[in-house]
Amino acid sequence: MLDASELSSVVGYTAIAWGVVDGDVDGDDGELIKLDNGMIFELSGISPMVEYSPEVIVFEQTITPAEARQLGFKRDGPVAMYKLVVGEELVDAFRLR
């Protein structure tokens, strides 16, 4: 179960979507999940777990180009960062669609 210390990492993010995973989540780093709302994410830093069609809340934060470069991104424009609550896990994610 999530507690306040884990949720502190979403400060500055905005909840932008809710959905249900179309299928199972195994908790593999790099796993792709598709939500029933059409969004697709690649999971990063997730703990091994097995969830069957878990609910997901999507959080997004846009960072400036300077902040993105400090994090190692090689882009000239702003970068959207994502965190997902997948079932009872908080994970970093990259949005593919």
Q: Give per-residue pLDDT as tens, 38-87.
A: 999 999 977 777 888 999 999 999 999 888 888 888 878 889 999 999 98
Sign of the C-alpha dihedral, residues 69, 71, 73, 76? negative
Domain residue spans in the chain?
19-95
Which pLDDT belongs to residue 38?
96
Task: Report the relative pairing of strands 89-95 and 79-86 from DSSP bridges.
Answer: antiparallel
